[in-house]
Amino acid sequence: MRSKMCQIVLSTATAVLLAGAASAQDCATAPAAIVGANAFDTTASTVNFAMPAGAGCAAAHTIYKSTFFTFTAAESGAHTFATCGGATWDTRIAVLNTCDPSAGVLGCNDDSCALQSQTSATLVAGTTYKVVIGGFGATNGGAGTLNITFNGGGGGGGGGGNCDAPTVVNEGDNPFTNTASALTIDLTGACTMQFTQQIYNTNFYQFTPTETASYRFSTCNTASFDTKIAIMNTCDPAGGVLACNDDGAGCAGFSSLIPAVDLVAGTAYKIALGGYGAGTPAGSGTLAITRNAGSNCKSATALV
């Protein structure tokens, strides 16, 4: 009787484990993830999840042998989702608004740390999101750990004049409201804009790319004021200004566009965003950051 009872208990436990594994392959009933470490295993997955281009991934692609989590943000701000150090195989990752990518891809990455993945997304407290993890190819899968960290408030705020505490921004659309910081930075000799070389009422933001690639920075047609923008290595322009712009080509309202600047994965860059002149009022808009197609090996445009 004891042996039979043990078999029943073991069978029940096995069924529960299998049910849990199955739910991880169903986006609608995916288990909840927390800030911290979240174990997963895609070995048995038969789900190949189609993804569009955007939010960090330059081309449409498939996440093979997918597994899913739901994640409800406890605080508003930037969150990082990573398999770095948590998997030994070639991973891909995406953060979505819903199970349907057409409803919004907030973060997406293939290779950020060797063949593993890391992406950041600005989330709203109390909102539930979907996280997709899987492989680069049909044979890539296995056990791993999804690490989720909260990076602090970002996106939707103003950077302010303190470059030592910039607002974190990510690939995608970053709504901003600049403050009248009364800080002017002078780019003379470091970068040339169309008219004058100063950025007034400068607010600072910070962007850390997940892949080494060419990136586009734009307030084009979204800003409520005459903007200027610069991408810098440090808070001091003398440390290197990688790109700058006053009035972007084809941009209305004297808004700005940097069409391409080469950045290195994992490096934190400073973004100086402010006004054309001392009398230019602070305002709001959207800082859009996108990776240019074909600017890294795996997203390279095919030749025909």
In the numeric block, which tokens belong to residue 75?
């605080």
Round to whole Å and give the CA distance between 225 and 233. Answer: 25
Topology of domain 23-152 in CATH is Jelly Rolls (2.60.120)
Q: Where are the domains of the chain?
A: 23-152, 167-291
Structure-token pair, residue 185: 């930075």
106: Cβ contacts below 8 Å, ≥ 6 apart: 55, 95, 96, 97, 121, 122, 123, 129, 172
DSSP state of 158: -
Say what the pLDDT of residue 15 is.
34
Who has greater pLDDT, 278 or 260?
A: 260
The label of the residue with tokens 């659309």 reads 173
Instruction: Please answer whether residues 193 and 200 qualify as being in contact, where contact means their C-beta atoms are separated by less than 8 angstroms.
Output: no
**Residue 232 predicted with pLDDT over 60:** yes
Average pLDDT over residues 65-77: 90
Residue 156 in tokens: 């939707």
- Distance (Å, whole) CA 32 – CA 9: 26
Record the tokens describing residue 35, joined without a space: 């800030």
Q: Which amino acid is at 188?
A: T
The pTM (predicted TM-score) of the whole model is: 0.51
Task: At 111, list the tokens.
Answer: 């290779």
The CA distance from 23 to 217, in Å, is 39
Summarised one tens digit per residue, pLDDT across range 47-68 is 999 988 766 677 888 999 999 9
Angle at 78 between CA 71 and CA 261, to 5 degrees: 125
Return d(Cα 236, Cα 55) in angstroms, integer. Answer: 29
Flag whether pLDDT at 7 surpasses 70. Answer: no
- Topology adopted by domain 167-291: Jelly Rolls (2.60.120)
The rounded Cα 6 to chain-centroid distance in angstroms is 48
Task: Output phi, psi for 66, to 5 deg.
Answer: -75, 150
Q: Which two tokens stand for residue 121?
A: 């997304």
27 contacts 99 by C-beta, under 8 angstroms: yes
Mean pLDDT, to the nearest integer, of 92-113? 87
Round to the nearest angstrom and report the end-to-end CA distance of the chain.
70
Comparing 217 with 168, which gets the higher pLDDT? 217
Per CATH, 23-152 and 167-291 having the same topology is answered yes
